[in-house]
Amino acid sequence: MAATQTLIYLDGKLVPESEAKISVFDHGLLYGDGVFEGIRIYNGRVFKLTEHLTRLYESARSILLTMPLIMQEMEQATLQTVAANGLRDGYIRLVVTRGVGSLGLNPYQCPKASVIIIAGTIKLYPEKVYGEGLTLITCATRRPSPAALSPQVKSLNYLNNIMAKIEAIQGGAEEGVMLNEQGYVAECTGDNLFIVKGGEVFTPPISAGALDGITRRVAIDLLKEMGVVCQEASLTRHDIFTADECFLTGTAAEVIAAVELDRRSIGDGKPGLLTQKLVEKFKVLANSTGTAVTYP
């Protein structure tokens, strides 16, 4: 018996994945012209859905992309897609492309944007790494200057991050640290970065080229509840080398320790105590809050 296909939301309809197709003239495909969000489902609830949708619409506004749905409609479409696939735990990829247009860069040749919502599963790193910690290298590929493209726009053009990810994989690491033009730490290829030093936590400022990550915000709030000071600070590789602990945050990655950078152990080379406590608090929060899905 054939496996049931995942149902994909495509411009107002739920269709089997084998029928979920876009035009070769879609500017999302041709030019990476569009925006997206990655969102988690925990225990039958969509985690931080409002925050993700707010950022999606802000990204669209920044690139002058007219959304075909108002935010409440997008929320309902997202919940509908999760429910239709019966997912209680999983990952949502919400994509809005500029839509079908003519060959050429002009976005005004695209009459209407397209909405694609995929609800499935994701595993960014092996389970073993969550227990033992990630290995990092520093990537030669730099984050683009905010003057070129704001890091707050989650656009479909992820080639910069992909090239850095290739470096990390070829260098035998699970993740790569990306620097900005000034040589300060911006973020990793898909995650925000934090270090622990002397009982305090530091993370690169948004102005360094880091995405204002939803999970980054959650981690800062949880640390505050734990009575731990978290500050934005310009960080160099040296700061990571000499840190007591290091951890990354991201929707797909969640909260995960990093224990080595460029063949140098961070701290004692094992996930630190504060990081472990933060991971546990994040799990509790993620599994007990969020926008509830109504299942058929």
Tell me which DSSP letter residue 207 carries. Answer: G
Q: What is the 3-state secondary structure (H, E, C) of 69-121?
A: CCHHHHHHHHHHHHHHCCCCCEEEEEEEECCECCCCCCHHHCCCCEEEEEEEC
Q: Within its chain, how far is the Cα of 29 from the centroid?
A: 20
Q: Which residues share a beta bridge with 176?
A: 137
Inter-CA distances, 130 with 16, 58, 67, 192, Å: 33, 32, 37, 16
Pair of tokens at residue 59 = 């990204």
The catalytic site residues sit at: 154
Under DSSP, the state recorded for 158 is: -
Q: Quick one: CA dihedral 52, 54, 60, 63, positive or negative?
A: negative
